[in-house]
Amino acid sequence: MSVLNQTPPKPAAAIEANRTAIGLELGSSRIKAVLVDLEHDVLAEGESEWENQLVDGLWTYPMAEVWQGVQTAFAQLRQNTAERYGTALNQTGAIGVSAMMHGYLAFDCNDELLTAFRTWRNTNTGPAAAELSQAFGVNIPLRWSVAHLYQAILDGEDHISSLAFITTLAGYVHWQLTGQKVLGVGDCSGMFPVLSDPPVFDPALLSRFGQLPKVRDLPWRLERILPELMVAGQPAGHITAHGAGLLDPTGAFAPGAPTAAPEGDAGTGMVATGTVGLGSGNVSVGTSIFAMVVTEKPPAVPLPEIDMVATPDGLPVAMVHCNNGASELDANVSLFAQFARAVGTEVTSGEAFTAFLQAALDGQDDAGGYLAYNYLAGEPITDVARGWPVATRLPGGQSGLANFARAQVYGVFATLRLGLDILREQGIRPANLLAHGGLFKTPLVAQQLMAATLDLPITVGQTASNGGAWGMAVLAAYALAANQGLSLPNYLDSRVFSAGDFDTVEPIAAQVAGFNTYLERYRLGLAIERSIDQLH
In single-letter form, the type of residue at position 359 comes to A
Q: For the residues 356-383, what does the mean pLDDT come to?
A: 94
In percent, the amount of the chain with pLDDT more than 90 equals 77
In single-letter form, the type of residue at position 275 comes to T
Please determine, for residue 325, whether its predicted confidence score (pLDDT) is greater than 80: yes
Please determine, for residue 3, whether its predicted confidence score (pLDDT) is greater than 70: no
Average pLDDT, the chain: 92
More confident residue, 417 or 503: 417
The pLDDT of residue 198:
92
The pLDDT of residue 464:
55
Query: What is the residue-wise DSSP string for 90-102?
Result: ---SEEEEEE---
Confidence of residue 4 (pLDDT cuts 50, 70, 90): very low
Q: Are the C-beta atoms of 318 and 304 separated by less than 8 Å?
A: no
How would you classify residue 91: left for phi > 0, otherwise alpha for psi between -120 and 50, otherwise beta? beta
3-state class of 420 per DSSP?
Answer: helix
Please determine, for residue 399, whether its predicted confidence score (pLDDT) is greater than 90: no
Q: Which of 191-195, 465-469, 500-504 has the highest mean pLDDT?
A: 191-195
The pLDDT of residue 5:
39
Confidence of residue 532 (pLDDT cuts 50, 70, 90): confident
Q: Where are the domains of the chain?
A: 272-323+420-505, 327-408+513-535
Q: Are the C-beta atoms of 308 and 298 separated by less than 8 Å?
A: yes
Confidence of residue 386 (pLDDT cuts 50, 70, 90): confident
Sequence-separated (6 or more) residues with CB below 8 Å from residue 218: 153, 160, 161
Percent helix, strand and coil across the chain, each rounded to 5?
A: 45, 20, 40
Rounded to two decimals, the pTM is: 0.85
- A 10 A CB-CB count for 448 gives 20
Q: Are the C-beta atoms of 234 and 479 separated by less than 8 Å?
A: yes
More confident residue, 412 or 302: 412
Please determine, for residue 536, whether its predicted confidence score (pLDDT) is greater than 70: no
Confidence of residue 8 (pLDDT cuts 50, 70, 90): very low
Please determine, for residue 499, whether its predicted confidence score (pLDDT) is greater than 70: no
In single-letter form, the type of residue at position 364 comes to Q
Please determine, for residue 147, whether its predicted confidence score (pLDDT) is greater than 90: yes
Q: For the residues 207-231, what does the mean pLDDT come to?
A: 97
CA dist 508 → 130, 423, 453, 512, 536 (Å): 40, 22, 10, 6, 40
Distance, in Å, from the CA atom of 291 to the CA atom of 280, rounded to the nearest integer, reads 11
How many residues comprise the chain? 536
Q: Are the C-beta atoms of 260 and 475 separated by less than 8 Å?
A: yes
The pLDDT of residue 535:
67
Of 77-81, 364-368, 425-429, 480-484, minimum mean pLDDT range: 480-484
Distance, in Å, from the CA atom of 292 to the CA atom of 312, rounded to the nearest integer, reads 13
Confidence of residue 6 (pLDDT cuts 50, 70, 90): very low
Q: Dihedral of CA 155/160/161/162: which sign?
A: positive
CATH code of the region 272-323+420-505:
3.30.420.40
Q: For the residues 212-235, what does the mean pLDDT come to?
A: 97
Confidence of residue 533 (pLDDT cuts 50, 70, 90): low
Residue 258 is given by DSSP the state B
> Can you say how many angstroms the Cα of residue 260 is from the centroid of all Cα atoms in its chain?
18
Cα-trace Rg, the chain: 23
